[in-house]
Structures are given as structure tokens and as C-alpha cells.
Chain A
Amino acid sequence: MTASILPLVLDGLCFDARGERLIHHLTATLRGGTRTILLGPNGAGKSLTLRLAHGLLAPSAGSVRWEGDNAKAARERQAMVFQRPVMLRRSVAANVDYALGLRGTPRAARRPLVAEALARAGLGDVAKRPARVLSAGEQQRLALARAWAVEPEVLFLDEPTANLDPAATRAVEDMITAIHQAGATIIMTTHDLGQAHRLGEEILFLHRGHLMEQMTAETFFAGPQSAEAQAFLAGELLW
């Protein structure tokens, strides 16, 4: 068993773009094993925070610290699913195979792993089809299968169902739950309250680049402390 890279410590994270501060001194500790939801209206800085944590963006100030302080090892234990997944112009199976190859899985060992990953996503029948001709829902499931195949300790998801209809959303949420049950820590963003209800164990509520609340989902939905979170829960338009 490899040493855990969690908890993840976000320490005074700031992010500036074009002279404007978009994330303000965000400090939080994210424990392992949970499903954490970054919640907030559009433009709250959820996606930016996720990208900073995953290392796709460098913070303007502050730091992202993984347990063990080994940046390379930490990178290899993470995966991310984007709102609009990029599928390579090759077959469904080859997309998963590519991800495994990048993580150094030997070619011979990949075949069964690819088949297993596709079976878990219900995509076994379309393994040989070009990935780009799949429906949006199937593509997102393939993105999840691709991320799951590398067995990440932490899976980041950025609004994974924002473009999907209810049926496809259901399928994606089921997969997220399954990946969590298989042992991965889930850190995802959503602006969808219902989804936060269904999947959230811990809630980080963001508003205009500030972390307003961090608490268990139960406590949060029972009654958040900040006026912004209360307004958001009450269904008021917040921006």
C-alpha cells in the first residue's frame, strides 16, 4: 500500500488574473475518504480552486500541500474529469489505454484493465467505436472510466453533469458513487443544489472567490451561517 497523499492542505491560496483577484486567501484542509463538494453560484471560483488543487494552475500566493510533500507522487495519485471532456480522435478503448500508458502501465497489462474500466462504465459494447461519436453522456462516462482506470486516490470533478440530461446525470452520479465506494476521495464542484444534496458529505461554500463555509453536508443543509449561503439555499439568485 502506497502512503496516502491526503489530507490536502490549501494554505492561503490566492489567484489573480488580469490584475483582478479571483480567489482570496482560501485556506482549507480536505480529509481523505469523503465526498467533498465545492458549492456556489457561477463565478464563485469553484473551478479555479479545483484547478489550483489539481496543479493545472499555479497560485499567485499561498500553497497547495499534499501529505508526504512529494509533488510527483501526488500528481500520479490524482485524476480529473472536466465539464467538457476532451476525447482523443481514436477508439473508446484507445482513450482509456492512452491514460494507462501515460501512468506507465506496461502494454501487456493494459488490455484487461481497459476492458474492466469500460465494463464498469457500461461502455463495453462500444469499445471499438470512435470516442468522438459517442453521446455527451457516454463521453462523460468514458471520461470517468478513463480517470478511474488509473486508480486515483483523489478524483477531481468539475461540474461533471452540467451539460447532461437527467438520465445521463443519474448514470454519471452512480459512477461517482461507485468510484467513491471503491476507495477514492471525491472532490467536485457543482452549482446544482440537488446534486450537492445527493452526493455531498462535506460542503465548501464559495462566493466571489471567498470560502464562506466548510462543514458537513448535514450541518450545511440544516442551516448555514453566512447570509450568502442562506440565500443560495433559499433559491435566491446570487452573483
Chain B
Amino acid sequence: MSDFHDAFAAAFSLIFGLNADLVEIIGLSLKITFSGVALSALIGLPLGAAVALLRFPGRGIVVVALNAFMGLPPVVVGLVVYLMLSRAGPFGILGLLFTPTAMIIAQCFLITPILAALTRQIIADLWEEYSEQLRSLGATPARAIPTLLIDARATLLTTILAGFGRAFGEVGAVMIVGGNIAHGTRVMTTAIALETSKGDLPLALGLGMILLLLSLAINGGAYMLGDMARRRRG
């Protein structure tokens, strides 16, 4: 019990003390997650909408693959990205292994299928409602892709948040491709894993609480934004 009490006390002093190392770790976590999710959204949203609207050979396989890849095990993604980026791998020449860029790439592989699969479902449902009207106005399915993405923006924001949650709390893939190098690639989740295995529970717990609080703050902010947009746009 006293361990736990000490841990909480240490965690609070850590949070309110805000030492430089902690700020650096939080900053890198946010940077990697935002970059990874932004990149995933740029790829996943148009991809999901295209799969929903366009008819092409092999479309069924793509839909199944996207749905299956939603649950990709992070360590496997980490391993694959590791192999591709390692010195002997096809992209080894770029020297990206154990850099934040490698971590962003791994996040992108994890999140893109989630965003694409959920977007496909959302846009397919919306197309049911809009199809006749848009076709009557003269829109081809390809032209309808941006229109539907814009009209589904409130729902898609929630989808992006789901991706954000997964990326922010992810440890397996970023540990493998980032290496948890202090002042280099150490992020909140890998730091928590490290401190826990070292037995420094107060630090681990403090980091964990900050992770939770940030997650809550970002989700809360996005919810309020979406709510405002809904009320304004009807």
C-alpha cells in the first residue's frame, strides 16, 4: 500500500514539477502521434471513400483486407518496418531506423487501415442517402468522394480520434523501430515500459497519468469542436 502511496506522491510532484526530460518526452510523443495520424488520415480517408464509391476488380479483397488489418498486432508491424528500414533492408540506405521518422512510419501502418476501414463504412452509408441527388446533379462517383468526405466531417473526426487513441497509447511498434533512446526516440509509452521494468514505479505512474490526462484533453477538445460544428451546420 505504501508503495502505491509513494508512487502517487512522486507522480504528482513529477507532473507539477515538469522537469525538462519529461517535457521532451511528452513533446516527442505528441509530435510522433500527430504526424502519424495526420499522414494516416491523408491516406486512409480518401482510400476508404474510394473503396466505398468506386467499383473495380478485386474491390472485395481490398475491403476484407482493410477490415482485417484494423487489428494488426503492433509488434508485428514494428518488426516488418524494422526489417524494411534496417541496414540490410530495402530502405536501409535512408538510415531511418531508430529515428522518430521510423516511429511515424510504423504508426502510419497501424492507423491507416483503421481509418480507411471505418471511413469506407461511413461513406458507403452516406452514399446511400446522397446517391440519387448527387447523380442527378451530375456528380460521378469519383467527383462525389470529396463531397462526401466534407459532409461526413463530424463523424470522420471521431474516427480520426479513434486512430489517435490507438497511436498515442501504442508501445510495441515504436519500441522496436525507435529503440527507446533517451533524448532521441523515447516517448511516453516506451518510457513507462522502461521505468516499470527498472522498478521506478513512481516515474512510470506519473508518466501514465500524464498520458491519460493528455488523451482526455485532446478527446474532450475534439468533441467540443465536433459538437460546435454540428450545431452550426445542422
Q: Which residues of A contact B (CB under 8 A)?
A: 51, 54, 56, 75-76, 78-80, 82, 85-86, 88-90, 98-99, 102-103, 130-133, 146
Do A79 and B136 have beta carbons less than 8 Å apart? yes
Neighbour of B234 across the interface among A78, A82, A130, CB < 8 A:
A130
Q: Which 6 A-B pairs have the closest CB atoms?
A: A132-B234, A133-B234, A86-B133, A102-B138, A80-B136, A130-B234
Q: Which residues of A contact B137 (CB under 8 A)?
A: 79, 98-99, 102, 146
B135 and chain A: residue at smallest CB distance:
A56
Kindly count the residue-residue contacts between A and B in the assembled complex, taking CB atoms under 8 Å apart. Answer: 48
Q: Shortest beta-carbon distance, A174 to chain B, in Å?
A: 23
- CB–CB A90/B233 < 8 A: yes
Given contacts A88-B151, A130-B232, A132-B234, contact A76 B136 (CB under 8 A): no
Chain B interface residues (CB < 8 Å from chain A): 129-130, 132-139, 143, 147, 150-151, 153, 232-234
The reply to whether A89 and B132 form a contact with Cβ atoms under 8 Å apart is no
Interface centre among A76, A89, A90, A103 (most CB of B within 10 A): A89
Contact A102 B233, CB 8 Å, known A75-B138, A76-B138, A89-B151: no
Tell me which residues across on chain B come within 8 A of A130, comparing CB atoms. 232-234
Q: Are A86's CB and B130's CB within 8 A?
A: yes
Give Cα distance in the complex from A82 to B153, angstroms.
Answer: 24
15 A-B pairs (CB sep. < 8 Å): A56-B136, A75-B138, A79-B137, A82-B132, A82-B133, A86-B130, A88-B150, A89-B150, A89-B233, A89-B234, A99-B138, A102-B138, A130-B233, A131-B234, A132-B234
B132 in contact with A90 (CB, 8 Å): no
A146 to B233, CA, bound (A): 19
Question: How distant is B133 from chain A, measured CB to nearest CB, in Å?
Answer: 4
Complex Cα gap A89–B155 (Å): 13
- B22 vs chain A, min Cβ distance (A): 42
Interchain nearest-CB distance for A95 vs B (Å): 10
